[in-house]
């Protein structure tokens, strides 16, 4: 190789070709943006509420602030899946001695009560 030749000649332009981007045609509908959809929040009872009903109303209010409702089956299922995960975590904490039996029983009962919220908002 002579001093006049570059050490790295670069790409061979004869091998380069124009690349045409492949556009994927979607066969499924576009994803819903649930934050932009209005959510119907059911009218809450005005009479005295049971503790479970008050909790359900509190959770529903939290969901409504995020444009969601526990009366929506998908939101309710997401909520229940999350509570099941928390129950599993509490069970693990009990098994590792991080949570005593009495505290575990109290917290698990609270979670069980929270799991009734979607059914109380019909």
What is the separation of C-alpha 16 from the centre of its chain, rounded to a whole number of angstroms? 45
Say how many Å lie between the first and final Cα of the chain, rounded.
83
pLDDT 10s digits, 5-63: 656 655 555 555 454 455 554 555 445 555 544 455 555 555 688 888 999 999 999 99
Split into its structural domains, the chain has a count of 1
Is the alpha carbon torsion for 66, 70, 72, 78 positive or negative?
positive
In a domain, residue 57? The reply is: no
Does a structural domain hold residue 83?
yes
Written as one string, the DSSP assignment of 19-51 is PPPPPPPP-SPPPP-TTTS--PPPPPP-SPPPH
Residue 71 contacts residue 118 (beta carbons within 8 Å): yes
Which residue is associated with the tokens 């005005």? 46
Predicted pLDDT at 48: 83
Residue 67 lies in a domain: no
State residue 68's pLDDT score.
94
Structural domain for 88, as ranges: 72-122
């Amino acid at each position: 190789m002579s001093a006049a030749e570059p050490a790295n000649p670069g790409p061979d332009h004869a091998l380069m070709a124009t690349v045409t981007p492949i556009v994927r045609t979607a066969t499924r509908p576009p994803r819903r943006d649930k934050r932009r959809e209005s959510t119907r929040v059911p009218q809450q009872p005005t009479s005295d509420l049971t503790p479970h009903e008050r909790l359900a109303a509190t959770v529903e209010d939290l969901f409504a602030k995020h444009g969601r409702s526990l009366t929506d089956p998908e939101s309710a299922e997401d909520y229940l899946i999350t509570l099941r995960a928390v129950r599993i975590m509490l069970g693990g904490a009990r098994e590792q001695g991080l949570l005593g039996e009495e505290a575990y029983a109290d917290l698990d009962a609270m979670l069980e009560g929270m799991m009734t919220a979607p059914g109380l908002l019909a």
